[in-house]
Structure 1
Amino acid sequence: MAYKPSIDPWINVNMGDVADLDYMQAVKRDYFRGDDSFFKNITPDELIAEMDGNGVEKALVTYSLEDPKAWILDFPKRYPGRFFLAVVPDLKRGMKTLWELEELAREYPVALARVAPFQLNVAPNEALYFPFYSKCIEMDLPVGINTGICGPPLPSECQNPMHLDKVCHHFPELRLIMQHGADPWWDFALRLMIKYRNLYMMTSAYAPRHFPASLLHFMKTRGKKKIMFASDHPVLSIERCVREAHELDVDEGLLEDFLYNTAERVLFGKRHSRYGEFAIDSYTRDTMRDIKKEA
């Protein structure tokens, strides 16, 4: 089957490095019931083959500033215009991690900064996050925050999307993306997206065939430009998520928005940084120029 073009904003290429974490073993065993492919490090060539086989044009690979893996930076180097970085800052280190984020974004195409509140057990409306939000607003860098009950057997109340109500109110310039859906607080999340124009959701780690009826209704009505596809590969495979997305009961225009257009606009649209141009600006501009030449 020929699939429509898509963007995948959540791919983990270093799952093999976290196999010794007890809570990740529990995620594999009890939550996703994963097979041996769950804990595997992925090479750029392997991932490109997987993407090409499923119509994925661009992908974000996760890069942590708490435990940086230099080899992950080879992805955008090897395949410019195909791979971009989703950077996880170490908020416990305050401004130091934010200066590292800014420095990294000057050299590499950083498309997103993301955090998972369950790893800190601190809700995203607490002061720990405020410098992070301010820095990302100044960089015009979108922020992803996990919402919903997390897969690991760890406290999840900090990921209730209602915590984002104050965040969106106090930081209206921040482009904020709820990650991993919002189960079981879908209605809160959908209502907040109606309320705040810069609040979005990606469906990473949530198989499309399990989307709740309320989410599908929102996608077809007031949320047509609010929801973006993502897999969480290899936790949920690209192949499965793309295939199940094409099986959704939605029209072609909405499917294109879900798979591609919303992510393209939110993650790769024109930046207006207060610090001048970052690497992603030239990556995006040069890639578009090359595409036009080939055409």
Structure 2
Amino acid sequence: MDIIDFRFRPNTQATIDGFTKSTMFKGMFAKMDLTRLYAQSVPEVVDMISKEGYVKAVITGRDCSGTYDAKSNNEGVKAFVREFPDMFLGFMGVDPNRGMDAIYELDKDIREDGMHGACIDPYLAKMFVNDARYYPVYSKCCELDIPVIVATGPGTLVPGAVMEHAAPRYIDYVARDFPQLKIIISHGGYPWVEEAIMITERNENVYMELSEYERHPGGESYVKAAANLIGDKILFASAHPGADFRDALAMYKGFGLSEDVMEQIMFRNAQKVLGL
């Protein structure tokens, strides 16, 4: 089965260092067993995932330089894509606190550097996803015909972050105001599981990936929804190397989903969103 992973980073030493030294996520990663992480070269990573059926992997950037003492990692994402453009698709992190500078940069990243989408982190930007400061980002995404990934989740131990900023209910407003914009809820809108499921179901332009939260309390609702309600709207995402991609693949195989739903989740839904 062909696989498109919608949240992936090669486990290079630079990626691992970025995890362990993160300004925002050091508390979260301190709770995790990072001793299992090992560094590989990018060619080694591509060879490894190709053998498992990967045909594409989305690498998400992050820019929260307006609110945290952290540089954007977009240049690192571009470097991965330049090295293996047939495998990796780059989504650029956009910080709305940077105003029009962020919009001009995104335009260049897509038109000139061949990137494929935008990625935003409302709880790191410290504003709701339907804040007016985000609307120029969505307008530019519509103009460029690119999707936007919205990072949700509880932001565990992130200093200064407010979990409510990541609540998926506010994505409903954006989906209404920008019906042509393809929106991907990242991390399943957790812990608002049922809310995220219904927002995905009721809006034609909203999709969802569940990375890292499938096995959290209440996560069984994601699996039930995939089987019976939104199998055509869920995208496979491993969050490698934070969660090993092989463990994620094994987990999905164990969900007992039909072959057709599995093909949708693993490949066809992402193929549609990405316009491949």
Cα distance in 2 for residues equivalent to 1:192 and 1:68: 30
Write out aligned runs for 1:2-41 (5 A): 4-13=1-10, 14-21=15-22, 23-30=24-31, 33-38=32-37
SS at 2:188 equivalent: coil
List gaps (5 residues or longer) in structure 1. Answer: 270-295
Q: Which amino acid aligns with 2:207?
A: Y
Cα distance in 1 for residues equivalent to 2:201 and 2:51: 35
State the secondary structure of the residue aligned to 2:59.
strand
Give the corresponding residue for 2:190: 183
Q: How far has the Cα of 1:205 moved from its partner?
A: 2.6
**Does the Cα contact within 8 Å between 1:37 and 1:234 map onto a contact in 2?**
no
State the Cα distance separating 1:262 from its structure 2 match. 0.4
* Partner residue of 1:48 out of 40, 46, 49: 46
**Structure 1 residue matching 2:29: 3-state secondary structure:** helix
* In 2: Cα distance, 1:158 partner to 1:140 partner: 26
1:243 & 1:215 partners in 2: Cα distance?
16
Contact 1:209 1:245 in 2 (8 A): no
Partner of 1:105: 110
TM-score, normalisation: structure 1: 0.81
The 1:98/1:149 distance shift into structure 2, 3 A limit, reads same
How far apart, CA to CA, are the structure 2 residues paired with 1:268 and 1:37? 35
For residues 204 and 42 of structure 2, the distance between their equivalents in structure 1, rounded to whole angstroms, comes to: 35
State how far apart, in whole Å, the 1-side matches of 2:101 and 2:249 are.
Answer: 38
Q: Which residue of 2 aligns with 1:277?
A: none
- Report SS of the residue matched to 2:25: helix
Of stretches 240-249 and 144-153 in structure 1, the one that deviates more from structure 2 is 144-153
Map Cα deviations across residues 210-250 of structure 1 (whole Å, 9 max, x no partner): 77232222212231210011011110111111111111111
Match of 2:268 in 1: 261
1:126-141 aligned at under 5 Å gives the runs 126-141=131-146
| Paired position in structure 1 for 2:55 | 57
Distance in 1 separating the partners of 2:249 and 2:145: 29
Q: CA–CA distance in 2 between the matches of 1:87 and 1:148?
A: 19
1:43-99 deviations in Å (ceiling 9; x for gaps) = 421320331242221111233465246454232222222111011012211111111
Residue identity (%) = 25
Counterparts of 1:184-199 in structure 2, within 5 Å, are 184-199=191-206
Calculate the aligned-residue CA RMSD, in Å: 2.2
Match of 1:292 in 2: none
Q: Which amino acid aligns with 1:157?
A: E
Asked which structure has the greater RCO (Cα within 8 Å, sep 6+), the reply is 1
Q: Distance in 2 between matches of 1:42 and 1:116?
A: 28
Taking the aligned partners of 2:139 and 2:232, their CA distance within structure 1 comes to: 25
1:188 CA displacement: 0.9
Distance 2:220 2:6 in 1: 23
Deviations 1:130-157 (A, max 9, x none): 1001110111110110223223443211
Work out whether 1:237 is the aligned partner of 2:238. Answer: no
Q: Provide the TM-score with structure 2 as the length reference.
A: 0.87
Match of 1:273 in 2: none
Instruction: Please tell me the residue identity of whatever aligns with 1:106.
Output: R
CA contact (8 A) 1:137 1:173 kept: yes
